[in-house]
């Protein structure tokens, strides 16, 4: 059976007809509206109102007739009655950080019934509230329903992949203040690369300091670690924005004291963040994690769109105005439309993410898993940890620095109060990057590329070629993995997230394609896995 995103590449003329009264058998749908339905709606056949109704009806019918996605889980919730593999932050916990079973069951009851009053009955352990679990039940009028899209199964609690992912997070915390452009000469980065290579179970190239902590796309492996869209000035109307940020002070990590960790797990507020008084360009994991702590999730992609428009990057080859002799796009296929769409797909993607988080997976956050590691190694309690993490050098290095095996957090509050898988930032990154790739020419080489200095105070020229598509893919990875550098997400939260966001964006674009008067054969883009499609 074809995947959801594969089905979205149905040719435009094979999918819908603008004129009413045409029957297409290619996808097995009868596009004729019964006369009784037309009369009931008060529409005159072939009128503008009728045609608008038909476009909406056919798009809804198309989404309805897609095969219902099968949602598969890793089984941790059923395997471990004490819920050690599942998210529980903000609920009551015992002295070891294990959740009160009655509180967790109350959460499950609300999830099963979807009744708002049942969510109000979930007991909290402190003052922090759960983040919007009812969004998992929301609907959208464009693109696939949030319950209609599926993603891969996240790693199980005691799996080898989980061991590799928690080891990577410990190494990211240890290297949080090392500039990316110094990884090649840093002994700790070299040690991390060697160890993480041993966790790989694929035929991919071994990790080296130059590829350490990079994303999964081909664009991630070209040029500096950070995307050009996080460094270049943003032409924000008449107010150009220089992308120096207020970053956090180096060397200060949180939730490494057990008492502080337990207090935060129970839903209380941690310490306040400490800031560097000097604005800097993003040049390290700490800087990147700070950027994605206070952004509005799609901020970087709105900025990227403005940068691309300011650069005069050519339109996507499928854009009908690329070859027009006397017209240009505006409300359709123009700057206002793409900037609007970046924000529009972001919210659709977020609802899809919240469905997966709350109703399907409820996966534990890294800080919760690290609590199990801490207790297991110290002998306070035993957990069925994957053997690989006990062989990793990273937790011991963390212990030497902080006298605990807890995962050092970049944020004093640790993770937000919702489950890990998939990452909301990653889902939005996948959706927004897909929209930008559908609007602009991915092959266009970015003019005057730059790289941040090690102190983050300046940008210097980068001597290499970087493409729009590669840097948009890299931006999606940066925004996603920036949350990993903070210690609040897993690598699989990123990879599953961008896949989900991409599928949602393609679904929205599919629904919109019959809303235009312009003739076009589809917008061309490259998916994150390298597949080229037209939508």
Instruction: Identify the bridge partners of residue 54 per DSSP, sorted by sequence position.
Output: none
CA neighbours within 13 Å on the CB side: how many for 79?
12
Closest CA relative to residue 442, chosen from 366, 532, 359, 503: 532
> With helix as H, strand as E and coil as C, how does 186-216 read?
CHHHHHHHHHHHHHCCCCCCCCCCCCCCCCC
Q: Which residue has the tokens 């927004």?
A: 432
Structure tokens at 54: 């038909």
**147, 361, 375, 418: the active-site residue:** 418
Interatomic CA distance for residues 67 and 70, integer angstroms: 9
- Report in angstroms the alpha-carbon separations of 401 from 138, 142, 196, 385, 409: 45, 50, 21, 23, 13
* Catalytic option among 93, 374, 425, 489: 425
Strands 524-526 and 532-534: antiparallel
Is there a contact between 239 and 210 (Cβ–Cβ < 8 Å)? no
Between CA 61 and CA 29 the distance in angstroms is: 8
437's CB contacts (< 8 A; 6+ apart) are 316, 468, 469, 472, 525, 526
Q: What single DSSP character describes residue 272?
A: P
| CB contact at 8 A, 200 and 194 | no
For 376, phi and psi rounded to 5 degrees? -65, -45
**How far apart, in whole angstroms, are the C-alpha atoms of residue 451 and residue 444?**
19
**Angle 223-225-229 from CA coordinates, rounded to 5°:** 85
- Rounded to an integer, what distance in angstroms lies between the CA atom of residue 232 and that of residue 244? 10
Q: What are phi and psi of 241, to 5 degrees?
A: -105, 120
Q: Verify whether residue 50 is a known catalytic residue.
A: no
Q: Which two tokens stand for residue 317?
A: 């080859």
Q: Where are the alpha helices (DSSP H) in 393-490?
A: 394-402, 424-439, 468-485
Q: Do the beta carbons of residue 356 and residue 499 sit within 8 Å?
A: no
DSSP-derived secondary structure letter, 174: H
Helix (H/G/I), strand (E/B), else coil: 353: helix
Buried b or exposed e, range 52-64, using 16+ CB within 10 angstroms: ebbbeebbeebbe
Question: Vertex 455, ends 453 and 456: CA angle to 5°?
Answer: 65
Tokens of 148: 């209609």
425 in active site: yes
The DSSP output letter for 393 is: S
Q: Which residue has the tokens 């500096």?
A: 224
Catalytic residue annotation: 418, 425
């Amino acid at each position: 059976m074809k995947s959801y995103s594969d089905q979205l590449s149905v040719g435009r003329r094979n999918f819908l007809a603008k004129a009413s009264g045409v029957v297409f058998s290619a996808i097995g749908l009868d596009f004729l509206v019964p006369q009784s339905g037309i009369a009931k709606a008060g529409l005159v056949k072939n009128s503008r109102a009728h045609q608008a109704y038909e476009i909406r009806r056919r798009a809804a019918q198309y989404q309805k007739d897609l095969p219902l996605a099968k949602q598969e889980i890793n089984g941790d919730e059923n395997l471990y009655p004490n819920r050690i593999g599942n998210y529980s932050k903000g609920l009551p916990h015992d002295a070891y950080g294990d959740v009160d079973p009655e509180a967790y069951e109350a959460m499950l009851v609300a999830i099963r019934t979807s009744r708002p009053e049942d969510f109000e009955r979930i007991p909290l352990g402190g003052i922090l509230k759960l983040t919007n679990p009812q969004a998992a039940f929301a609907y959208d009028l464009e693109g696939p329903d949030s319950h209609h899209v599926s993603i891969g199964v996240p790693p199980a609690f005691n799996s080898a992949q989980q061991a590799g992912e928690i080891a990577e997070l410990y190494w990211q915390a240890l290297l949080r203040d090392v500039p990316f452009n110094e990884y090649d000469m840093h002994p700790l980065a070299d040690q991390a690369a060697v160890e993480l290579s041993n966790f790989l179970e694929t035929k991919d190239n071994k990790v080296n300091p130059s590829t350490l902590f990079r994303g999964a796309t081909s664009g991630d492996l070209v040029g500096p670690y950070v995307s050009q869209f996080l460094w270049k000035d943003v032409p924000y109307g008449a107010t150009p924005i220089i992308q120096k940020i207020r970053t956090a002070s180096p060397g200060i990590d949180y939730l490494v004291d057990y008492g502080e960790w337990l207090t935060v797990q129970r839903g209380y507020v941690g310490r306040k963040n400490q800031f560097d008084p000097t604005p800097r360009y993003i040049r390290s994991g700490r800087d990147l994690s700070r950027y994605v702590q206070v952004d509005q999730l799609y901020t970087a992609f709105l900025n990227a769109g403005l940068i691309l428009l300011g650069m005069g990057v050519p339109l996507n080859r499928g854009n009908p105005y690329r070859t027009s002799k006397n017209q240009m796009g505006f409300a359709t296929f123009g700057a206002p439309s793409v900037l609007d769409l970046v924000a529009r797909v972001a919210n659709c993607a977020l609802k899809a993410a919240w469905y997966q988080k709350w109703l399907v997976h409820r996966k534990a956050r890294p800080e919760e898993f690290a609590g199990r590691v801490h207790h297991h190694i110290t002998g306070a309690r035993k957990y069925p940890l994957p053997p690989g993490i006990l062989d990793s050098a990273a937790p011991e290095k963390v212990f030497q620095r902080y006298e605990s095996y807890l995962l050092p957090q970049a944020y004093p509050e640790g993770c937000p109060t919702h489950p890990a898988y998939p990452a909301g930032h990653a889902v939005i990154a996948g959706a927004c990057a897909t929209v930008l790739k559908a609007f602009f020419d991915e092959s266009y080489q970015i003019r005057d590329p730059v790289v941040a200095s090690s102190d983050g105070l300046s940008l210097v020229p980068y001597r290499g070629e970087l493409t729009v598509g590669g840097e948009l893919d890299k931006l999606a990875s940066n925004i996603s993995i920036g949350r990993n550098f903070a210690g609040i997400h897993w690598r699989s939260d990123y990879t599953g997230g961008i896949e989900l966001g991409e599928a949602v964006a393609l679904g929205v674009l599919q629904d919109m394609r019959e809303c235009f008067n312009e003739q076009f054969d589809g917008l061309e883009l490259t998916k994150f896995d390298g597949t080229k499609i037209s939508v």
